[in-house]
Chain A
Amino acid sequence: SQTIHQWPATLVQPVGSPLSLECTVEGTSNPNLYWYRQAAGRGLQLLFYSVGIGQISSEVPQNLSASRPQDRQFILSSKKLLLSDSGFYLCAWSLRGNYGYTFGSGTRLTVV
């Protein structure tokens, strides 16, 4: 069966520090991968999606970047965090076609 792993679960980082959040999928190949951010009361904002290795599409200009170095690995990064980067970050995957999306358990990022 397919599983998605996202870590860490919680993270407290100072302003100006770098960020690296990792997401991996097991049990499938060539998935579509997504990074979302969820701010309190604001729903889910799509940050990046990827349809293949090295293929990254950005939905919102911001202080973050994403990379897909391997088929089932999706990384969210920042060189210098801002206070406004705080939020709940969710990774998700889907297969080709429209069968729904499976989410990771999320990372709660607090920038102080």
Chain B
Amino acid sequence: AQSVTQLGSHVSVSEGALVLLRCNYSSSVPPYLFWYVQYPNQGLQLLLKYTTGATLVKGINGFEAEFKKSETSFHLTKPSAHMSDAAEYFCAVSEDIGGGSYIPTFGRGTSLIVHP
């Protein structure tokens, strides 16, 4: 079974500072990786995804993530944090259950806190 580990349940940064949210995964096959963002009392919104090809993936709201196979990592970054980035972030890896269907396994989430 695949698994996802998000290091740090809370990350605190100042507005304008670099955002780095860490995600490590375990998978016996080439992984499909995702980052989602969740604002309070809302569903999850896809930020970006890696399937194949370029290992540096750009997403919405200025976020990007780099797939590093040797480190089994998919860390999420943003050069300059905005107050509006404060939210819960989830890393996920997809597991192939056959028939072209996949099930995502999510990490426990990282709460990003942005200080003025």
Residue on B nearest A90 in the bound complex, by CB: B43
* Interface band, chain A: 20 to 34
Asked whether, in the complex, the Cβ of A43 is within 8 Å of the Cβ of B106, the reply is yes
* Interface band, chain B: 20 to 34
Residues of B within 8 A of A92 (CB): 43-44
Minimum C-beta distance from B23 to chain A (A): 12
Minimum C-beta distance from B48 to chain A (A): 9
Asked whether, in the complex, the Cβ of A43 is within 8 Å of the Cβ of B43, the reply is no
Residues of A within 8 A of B36 (CB): 103
Asked whether, in the complex, the Cβ of A103 is within 8 Å of the Cβ of B44, the reply is yes
A94 to B43, CA, bound (A): 15
Asked whether, in the complex, the Cβ of B101 is within 8 Å of the Cβ of A44, the reply is no
A51 to B82, CA, bound (A): 39
Among B9, B51, B101, the most chain A Cβ lie within 10 Å of the Cβ of: B101
6 closest A-B pairs (Cβ-Cβ)?
A103-B43, A43-B108, A96-B100, A44-B106, A103-B44, A98-B32
